Amino acid sequence: MKQRNITRLSFKKKKSIPFIIALANRILNAIGFVQEIDSTVIWDEKQWEVSPGNLAKALILATFFDMRAPLSRIAERFADVDTEFLFGEGVLPEKLNDDAIGSALDRIAEVNLERFFTALCVTAYSVYKIAFKKLHSDTTSISFYGEYEPDQHLAQKDDLSLSDDEILQIVKLAFNRPKFTN
> What CA dihedral angle connects 111, 113, 116 and 119, to 10 degrees?
-150
Q: Where are the alpha helices (DSSP H) in 63-112?
A: 74-77, 83-87, 98-109
Q: Is the pTM of this model over 0.75?
A: no
- pLDDT tens digits, the chain, 182 residues: what are they? 555 555 555 445 668 889 999 999 999 999 999 999 999 999 888 889 999 999 999 999 999 988 777 878 889 989 989 999 999 999 999 999 999 999 999 999 999 888 888 888 888 888 888 877 766 666 666 666 677 666 665 555 555 566 666 666 666 555 544 444 44
Return the pLDDT at 178: 46
Return the pLDDT at 177: 45
Return the pLDDT at 120: 87
Nearest to 20, CA basis, from 98, 81, 75, 76: 81
- Between the alpha carbon of residue 15 and those of residues 95, 105, 117, 165, 172, the distances in Å are 17, 28, 33, 71, 64
